[in-house]
Amino acid sequence: MKRIALFFALLTLISCATIKRPQSKFPKIHERILSGSYEEIWVAALQVLDAHRYQYPKADKDAGIVETSFIKGSSKKAFHYAGGQKFPKDLQWKLKLWILALPAPITHPQVRVKIEKETYVSAGPPEGWQRTQTDLLEEKSLIYRIGRMRDLNRLRDRAVTP
């Protein structure tokens, strides 16, 4: 009797351990901690957005939030078919950036940068827009470019100041 109870106890423990947790439908926000002052990272982020011709009607430096307006394009993955031909579906996306200064020594300041990309694909006129999953490539490249822009700004400042 004890063996049967022990067997079922072990069976439930093993079965609970192998259950996969449900994954979020959309990936998490991509984030990275960059070294530098808040001012350096803020300026670098806006320079990168300007270089990519993003328009950001909402840029609150005190709150550390930048939100771009929607950019329209066509999808490379979603298509609709008409008359035997394949046409890409309409796509629109916008970015949200959060820039947060972390508590660190004055000699080595650090800033957390988070980027979320909201991507929507047009399912057609009756259905409207449906949110889709992002591949995180643009988010990763933008954070990388913000770090590089910070480095270039530092080099420029060193070259200019005697």
Mean pLDDT of the chain: 83
- 105/51: higher pLDDT: 51
What integer is the mean pLDDT of 96-113?
Answer: 92
- Give how far Cα 16 sits from Cα of 4, 5, 10, 11, 23, Å: 18, 17, 10, 9, 17
Sheet strands (E) in the chain: 30-35, 58-60, 65-67, 71-82, 85-102, 110-124, 128-132
pLDDT in tens, 80-91: 667 777 777 788
pLDDT in tens, 13-68: 565 545 555 555 655 678 999 999 999 999 999 999 999 999 999 999 999 999 99
Phi, psi of 147, deg, nearest 5 = -65, -40
- 105/27: higher pLDDT: 105
pLDDT at 88: 72
Give the angle 150-119-149 at the CA atoms, nearest 5°.
5
Distance CA(41)–CA(135), nearest Å, equals 24
- 160/62: higher pLDDT: 62
pLDDT at 79: 67
Q: Which residue ranges form the domains of the chain, and what is each CATH number?
A: 28-160 (3.30.530.50)
> Where does the pLDDT of residue 11 fall: very low under 50, low under 70, confident under 90, or very high at 90 and above?
low
The two three-digit tokens of residue 75, written as one number: 């999808």
Distance CA(74)–CA(88), nearest Å, equals 6
If you count them, how many residues does the chain have? 162
Q: Is residue 122 a contact partner of residue 132, using CB atoms and an 8 Å limit? A: no
- Give how far Cα 64 sits from Cα of 43, 97, 115, Å: 11, 8, 12
Q: How far is CA 32 from the centre of its chain?
A: 10
pLDDT at 5: 64
Hey, CA dihedral for 139, 140, 145, 146, is it positive or negative? positive
